[in-house]
Amino acid sequence: MQTVTLIPGDGIGPEISAAVVKIFDAAKAPIRWEERNVTAIKGPGGRWTIPPDAKESMDLSKIGLKGPLKTPIAAGHPSMNLLLRKTFDLYANVRPCVSIEGYRTPYTDVDLVTIRENTEGEYSGIEHVIVDGVVQSIKLITENASRRIAEYAFEYARNNQRSSVTAVHKANIMRMSDGLFLRKCREVAENYKDVKFTEMYLDTVCLNVSVAGLGSDRLVLTAGLGSDHRVHGTAPDIAGMDLANPTALLLSAVMMLRHMGLHGHAARIQTACFDTIREKKVLTKDLGGSSKCSEFTAEICRRVQDLD
């Protein structure tokens, strides 16, 4: 039995987290969930922190599953997601983007993974008002963080049999900062001759993705401009109405199972999920169906139990 810290989050967060817990239960996954809430607390000295019980839980379990967290624009405190990343030094944001069989989109055969540096870059959160009406935001790039994320990307590529790593940058404009990032990527690439390394401008990537969809590559992004953000939204307009699609959170939880070495459970839950989508009988509204979240969840639970 392993403990995992569960942070349901805001908006549709609680309902999709509940769906995941139910499915894991049906699959008899050996997980004990420890539910914690995260809000911004102003500590002594004016520093913003997360609640101590949440931090304690994560420090012990070392693994967390989180739903979407909302950051109101004039909140006065930094983004909750940013706070979590800084607190636990979650330096690599990994997002596999794969076309799901049975759900048609304009882009077919997509199979790429974006790996995004998660602690610095444009999201450093350092801003100043120089004079009234002039604001400066600082984008920070360090040697250590760049090397670390490049190593993560190449290790991931090697461990998951991916053919190439592409560094995405804007070094023609941000000569020193993205230049440093690129140099570190090139240095790390020297130690991974079995993985192909290429570099591409951010604009070219955007252009190619919308024209053709990129093939089976891996991307390393500088922090700031991530790509597929299906997992982000709190979707307040459908919260509490049993309409949300728990797939994204479920597949993230499957990634978590693989990370924990529970490949059998991971495979069963993933198969159950993909089969449900492929059959097209029980689909949530965003996938073109008319079923409720609870019905979709129940269907996956049924399939998982059948696969046992």
Query: Under the criterion CB under 8 A, does residue 94 sit at the interface with another protein?
Result: no
Cβ closer to another protein: 78 or 242? Answer: 78
Cβ closer to another protein: 187 or 295? Answer: 187
Query: Under the criterion CB under 8 A, does residue 90 sit at the interface with another protein?
Result: no
Report the SS3 class of residue 200. Answer: strand
C-alpha–C-alpha distance, residues 54 and 75, integer Å: 21
Report the SS3 class of residue 5. Answer: strand
Q: Which of 224, 216, 270 minimizes the C-alpha distance to 100?
A: 270
Query: Under the criterion CB under 8 A, does residue 166 sit at the interface with another protein?
Result: no
| Backbone angle region of 10, left / alpha / beta, with phi > 0 → left and psi within -120 to 50 → alpha | beta
Total residues in contact with another protein, by rule CB under 8 A = 56
Options 229, 261, 281, 308; binder of another protein; rule CB under 8 A: 229
Query: Under the criterion CB under 8 A, does residue 207 sit at the interface with another protein?
Result: yes
Q: Which of residues 48-87 bind another protein (CB under 8 A)?
A: 71-74, 79, 82
Q: In the beta sheet, which residues pair with residue 167?
A: 199, 220
Q: Which of 120, 81, 115, 91 minimizes the C-alpha distance to 223?
A: 120
**Among the candidate windows 22-30, 60-68, 85-93, 200-208, which touches another protein by CB under 8 A?**
200-208
Options 206, 240, 259, 290; binder of another protein; rule CB under 8 A: 206
- Give the nearest distance from C-beta 215 to another protein in angstroms: 15
Query: Under the criterion CB under 8 A, does residue 172 sit at the interface with another protein?
Result: yes
Q: List, in sequence order, the alpha helices (H) in 212-259.
A: 247-259
C-alpha–C-alpha distance, residues 243 and 44, integer Å: 41
Structure-block tokens of residue 128 = 């100043």
Q: Which of 96, 68, 75, 85 minimizes the C-alpha distance to 121?
A: 85
Cβ closer to another protein: 1 or 211? Answer: 211
Query: Under the criterion CB under 8 A, does residue 209 sit at the interface with another protein?
Result: yes
- Give the nearest distance from C-beta 75 to another protein in angstroms: 8
- Give the nearest distance from C-beta 186 to another protein in angstroms: 11
Helices 13-26 and 263-279 meet at what angle, rounded to 10? 110
Structure-block tokens of residue 106 = 């304009």
**Among the candidate windows 21-29, 150-158, 205-213, 290-298, which touches another protein by CB under 8 A?**
205-213
Q: Which of 121, 109, 96 minimizes the C-alpha distance to 219?
A: 96
Report the SS3 class of residue 17. Answer: helix
Q: Which of residues 95-154 bind another protein (CB under 8 A)?
A: 105-107, 122-123, 125, 127-129, 132-144
- Give the nearest distance from C-beta 29 to another protein in angstroms: 30
Query: Under the criterion CB under 8 A, does residue 158 sit at the interface with another protein?
Result: no
C-alpha–C-alpha distance, residues 66 and 13, integer Å: 8
- Give the nearest distance from C-beta 18 to another protein in angstroms: 25
Binding site for another protein (CB under 8 A): 71-74, 79, 82, 105-107, 122-123, 125, 127-129, 132-144, 170-177, 179-180, 182, 202-204, 206-211, 225-230, 232-233
